Structure 1
Amino acid sequence: MIENNQIRLNRLYMIIDALTIIAGYTAAYIIIFGRNAATAALPASIYITAMALIVPLYIILNEIFGLYTPKRIGGVGKEFEGILKANTIGFLIITLVLFLGSKNLYLYHFSRRLVLIFYINCIVFETVERNLIRFFFMKLRINGHNLKHILLVGYSRAAEGYIDRVTSNLQWGYKIMGILDNNKEKGYSYRNIAVIGGIDNLKGILDANNLDEIAITLGLEEYEHLEDIVKSCEKSGVHTKFIPDYQNIIPTIPYIEDLMGLPVINIRHVPLTRWHNAVIKRIVDIFAGITGLIIFSPLMIVIAVLIKLTSRGPVIFPQERVGLHNKPFKMYKFRSMAVQEKKKEAKAWTTPDDPRVTAVGRFIRKTSIDELPQFYNILIGNMSIVGPRPERPYYVEKFKEEIPHYMIKHQVRPGLTGWAQVNGFRGDTSIQKRIEHDLYYIENWTLGFDFKIMFLTIFKGFINKNAY
Structure 2
Amino acid sequence: MKREYERRHSRWYEVLLLGLGFHLVVGLPLVVMVPSLERWGWEFWHHLPDVRTNTIIAISLAFVASALTLRRMARFPGAQLAAYIMPTVSITFLIAVAMLFFTREGYTRQVLFGGYLVSLAWFFMGYFIGRRYRKLKLALVPFGDTKRLLGTRQVDLRMLDSTDLEGVRYDGVVADLRAQDLPAEWEKFLATCTLCHIPVYHIRQISESISGRVRIDRLSENEFGSLLPPLFYIGFKRVVDFFAALLLLPLLLPLMAIVAVVIKLDSKGPSLFLQPRMGYRQRPFLMYKFRSMYHDMSGEDFTISEDDPRITRVGGWIRKYRIDELPQIFNVLKGQMSFIGPRPESASLSEWYEEDVPFFSYRHVVRPGITGWAQVEQGYAAEVRGMSKKLQYDFYYIKHISLWLDVLISLKTVRILFTGFGAR
Tell whether the structures are fold-level matches, with TM greater than 0.5.
Answer: yes
Q: Does 1:160 align with 2:147?
A: yes
Q: Secondary structure at the match of 1:6?
A: coil
After superposition, the Cα gap between the structure-2 partners of 1:439 and 1:4, relative to the gap in structure 1 and judged at 3 Å, is: closer
In the alignment, which of 360, 363, 372 is matched to residue 409 of structure 1? 363
Match for 1:413: what amino acid? R
Counterpart position of 1:397: 351
Counterpart position of 1:97: none
Larger deviation, residues 375-384 vs 20-29: 20-29
Match for 1:411: what amino acid? V
In the alignment, which of 450, 455, 458 is matched to residue 406 of structure 2? 450
Q: Map residues 69-88 of structure 1 onto 2, 5 A cutoff.
A: 77=81
Q: Map residues 23-38 of structure 1 onto 2, 5 A cutoff.
A: 23-24=30-31, 26-34=33-41, 37=42
Q: Does 1:229 align with 2:217?
A: no
Match for 1:27: what amino acid? V
> Deviation at 1:440?
3.1
Q: Does 1:439 align with 2:398?
A: no
Counterpart position of 1:325: 281
Q: Map residues 333-372 of structure 1 onto 2, 5 A cutoff.
A: 333-340=289-296, 344=298, 347=301, 349-350=303-304, 354-372=308-326
Structure 1 length as normaliser, TM-score? 0.59
> Deviation at 1:155?
0.4
After superposition, the Cα gap between the structure-2 partners of 1:130 and 1:378, relative to the gap in structure 1 and judged at 3 Å, is: same
Counterpart position of 2:127: 131
Counterpart position of 1:220: 178
Q: Does 1:265 align with 2:222?
A: yes
Partners of 2:423 and 2:174 lie apart in 1 by 46
Match for 1:156: what amino acid? G
Counterpart position of 1:183: none
* Larger RCO (alpha carbons 8 Å, 6+ apart): 2
Unaligned runs of at least 5 residues, structure 1: 45-60, 93-110, 142-146, 179-195, 197-201, 255-263
CA contact (8 A) 2:373 2:393 kept: yes
CA contact (8 A) 1:323 1:382 kept: yes
CA contact (8 A) 2:8 2:169 kept: no
Q: Map residues 39-438 of structure 1 onto 2, 5 A cutoff.
A: 42=46, 77=81, 123-124=119-120, 126-128=122-124, 130-135=126-131, 137=133, 150=139, 153=141, 155-157=143-145, 159-162=146-149, 164-165=150-151, 176-178=159-161, 196=162, 215=173, 217-218=175-176, 220-222=178-180, 229=187, 233-234=191-192, 237-239=195-197, 241-244=199-202, 265-267=222-224, 269-270=226-227, 273-308=229-264, 311-340=267-296, 344=298, 347=301, 349-350=303-304, 354-423=308-377, 425-426=379-380, 430-438=386-394
Match for 1:131: what amino acid? Y
Counterpart position of 2:12: 8
CA contact (8 A) 2:246 2:333 kept: yes
Partners of 1:397 and 1:4 lie apart in 2 by 49
CA contact (8 A) 2:6 2:198 kept: no
CA contact (8 A) 1:364 1:370 kept: yes
Partners of 2:407 and 2:29 lie apart in 1 by 32
Deviations 1:256-287, CA, capped at 9 Å, x for gaps: xxxxxxxx83336347x322211221122212
Larger deviation, residues 389-398 vs 450-459: 450-459
After superposition, the Cα gap between the structure-2 partners of 1:462 and 1:294, relative to the gap in structure 1 and judged at 3 Å, is: farther
Match for 1:155: what amino acid? F
CA contact (8 A) 2:318 2:324 kept: yes
CA contact (8 A) 1:304 1:334 kept: yes
> Deviation at 1:295?
1.9
Match for 2:361: what amino acid? M
Match for 2:12: what amino acid? R
> Deviation at 1:251?
8.6
Unaligned runs of at least 5 residues, structure 2: 49-63, 97-106, 214-220
Deviations 1:68-87, CA, capped at 9 Å, x for gaps: 9xx99997859x99xx99xx
CA contact (8 A) 2:289 2:328 kept: yes
Match for 2:6: what amino acid? I
After superposition, the Cα gap between the structure-2 partners of 1:461 and 1:398, relative to the gap in structure 1 and judged at 3 Å, is: farther
After superposition, the Cα gap between the structure-2 partners of 1:2 and 1:288, relative to the gap in structure 1 and judged at 3 Å, is: same
> Deviation at 1:221?
5.0
Counterpart position of 1:108: none
Deviations 1:113-138, CA, capped at 9 Å, x for gaps: 99978975885565345334414657
After superposition, the Cα gap between the structure-2 partners of 1:126 and 1:224, relative to the gap in structure 1 and judged at 3 Å, is: same
Partners of 2:299 and 2:286 lie apart in 1 by 15
CA contact (8 A) 1:155 1:218 kept: yes
> Deviation at 1:228?
9.8
Q: Which has the larger radius of gyration?
A: 1
CA contact (8 A) 1:149 1:177 kept: no
After superposition, the Cα gap between the structure-2 partners of 1:245 and 1:77, relative to the gap in structure 1 and judged at 3 Å, is: closer
After superposition, the Cα gap between the structure-2 partners of 1:401 and 1:249, relative to the gap in structure 1 and judged at 3 Å, is: farther
> Deviation at 1:421?
2.8
> Deviation at 1:451?
3.6
Larger deviation, residues 226-235 vs 325-334: 226-235
Counterpart position of 1:50: none
> Deviation at 1:352?
5.6
After superposition, the Cα gap between the structure-2 partners of 1:346 and 1:137, relative to the gap in structure 1 and judged at 3 Å, is: closer
Q: CA RMSD in A?
A: 5.3
After superposition, the Cα gap between the structure-2 partners of 1:115 and 1:406, relative to the gap in structure 1 and judged at 3 Å, is: same
CA contact (8 A) 1:308 1:315 kept: yes
> Deviation at 1:33?
2.6
Counterpart position of 2:53: none
Residue identity over aligned pairs, in percent, reads 27
Structure 2 length as normaliser, TM-score? 0.64
